[in-house]
């Protein structure tokens, strides 16, 4: 169980680091989600109304949601070991 927690935390952190340095994951997810309309200007500007504009936020939120069960698993295993 401890290895599962470490795996979730490690994978989330590595993917987060890769995402923050390259923006590759959010670009790929945005292209899959929006297709050809990804980051197309709306009324002449690219902003929140553009499809895929905040995709990096959603990717980071997903990675955080994967990391939290890892921390919860580590804490639960630690408390079980001390009881």
Tens of pLDDT, residue by residue over 51-68, are: 888 899 999 999 999 999
The string of DSSP letters for 18-75 reads HHHHH-HHHHHHHHHHHGGGTT--BTTB-STTSTTTTHHHHHHHHHHHHHHHHHHHHH
Does 7 score more than 90 pLDDT?
yes
Domain parsing of the chain, residue ranges: 2-82
Rg for the chain, CA atoms, rounded: 17
Task: Provide the 10 A C-beta neighbour count for residue 21.
Answer: 8
For residue 71, what pLDDT is reported?
94
Between residues 51 and 13, which one has the greater pLDDT? Answer: 13
């Amino acid at each position: 169980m401890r290895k599962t927690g470490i795996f979730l935390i490690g994978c989330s952190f590595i993917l987060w680091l890769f995402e923050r340095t390259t923006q590759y994951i959010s670009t790929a997810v945005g292209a899959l989600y929006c297709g050809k309309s990804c980051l197309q200007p709306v009324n002449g500007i690219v902003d929140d109304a553009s499809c895929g504009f905040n995709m990096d936020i959603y990717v980071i939120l997903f990675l955080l949601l994967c990391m939290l069960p890892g921390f919860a698993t580590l804490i639960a295993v630690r408390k079980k070991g001390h009881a």
